[in-house]
A and B are shown apart, each in its own frame.
Chain A
Amino acid sequence: MSAVDLSAVLGQTRVEEVLDQLERELVGLAPVKRRIREIAAYLVVSRARRSLGLESAPPSLHMSFTGNPGTGKTTVALRMADVLHRLGYLRKGHLVAVTRDDLVGQYIGHTAPKTREVLKRAMGGVLFIDEAYYLYRPENERDYGQEAIEILLQAMENQRDDLVVILAGYRDRMETFFRSNPGMSSRIAHHIDFPDYTGDELAAIARGMLERANYRFDAEAEEAFAQYIALRMKRQHFANARSIRNALERARLRQASRLFAQARGSAPTPAEALMTIAAEDIRASRVFQ
């Protein structure tokens, strides 16, 4: 038996780069990152095994991402597409994100072409189905969602080397969905659970978002925002990073109107002021009332 140099395979694919980028740019999500590393290692090994003729069929890579809204499922799916592309499991490595409306038709005979069209667009990349459980509506036995599921299953089985399907949604609803669709569940090898962010992680995410948009908090604003996060997490419809993004969006709005009010008839506004979000921009939020 001959040997194979795993680090050479790894170096060739430059997958380490993507994994490091993932580590650097995504805050928290430790179990998710670990799973992605595991999958990457598994693919490198299986590639090496194939080069020695020990394995013929490509591994099944369909996945399910479960977690609350705003925990980074779509972002990680994008990175996943990149990782799989670099490892040579996807020819193109693009991501096609769809929901029920893109797959299921409105009348008889509409669903199959619609689903197939989406599948064709996703070939060579990742098909990301957000809130996949809406495909299955048990309360309506004539629902066309079932038809879409069957076509999906067929493609997942027969065109495994052409596309990777990632289903995403809330954990409990996905579990119900898999229980009522055992065919789907058995074709998905990797279930990855996205935990909620802690307050500190959300603060780190906020800092990153501001930095990328060339803004910054002043010292008081930093403190105010930490309080804001603590209060916001207890309120309804908290969507993790998405809520944070929206909060920052609103703070930028308030900052702009504050600067506008101050600017009337006074000296020119320095660049520093344009970049800084002050505590009052955050404390004006409804959450503090």
Chain B
Amino acid sequence: MKLTQGTFSFLPDLTDEEIRAQIEYALGQGWSCSVEHTDEPHPRNVYWEMFGLPMFDLKDAAGVLAEVRRCRETFPGHYIKLNAFDATHGFESLRLSFIVHRPRDEARFGLVREEASGRTLRYTTYERRRP
């Protein structure tokens, strides 16, 4: 199953050229980019690992793209996403975040249904062991 998260999740994976254009856009808006990766892509896991520090004061997308490539080389089996942070007063949060790399064997998820008191149903998503 193809895992989808963040911006552009409804589109096919972006090519490097398209990623570069997105970075250019983010830098043009004055946002700072950062790269994060995880081996645990559960939708509720919001704590991905940082790959290096966020990149401030960049003028060109090549620097961010080089970092994305380096992260792919280091963690080919992880999910990698690119974030763009807007430091403007009032926003101070991510404006853009999308997956730029996924492992060959994607994560699979299962659903457990639990019957609780009074005919209540509780559902839990869990990650199934990959083959």
Contact = CB atoms under 8 A, between A and B. Distances in A.
A152 to B, nearest CB: 14
B103 to A, nearest CB: 25
Interface in A117-173: 117, 119-121, 123-125, 159, 162-163
Interface in A47-77: none
Contacts of A123: 58-60, 62-63, 66
B84 interface: no
Contacts, number: 38
A94 interface: yes
Nearest to A90: B60
Chain A contact residues: helix, strand, loop or mixed: loop
A88 interface: no
Contacts of A31: none
A213 to B, nearest CB: 30
Contacts of B55: 117, 120
Interface residues of A, number: 14
Q: Which of B61, B62, B66 has the most CB of A within 10 A?
A: B62
A117 B66 CA distance: 11
A113 interface: yes
Nearest to A94: B59
A125 B63 contact: no
Contact of B67 (A120, A124, A125): A120
Nearest to B57: A121
Interface of A: 91-92, 94, 113, 117, 119-121, 123-125, 159, 162-163
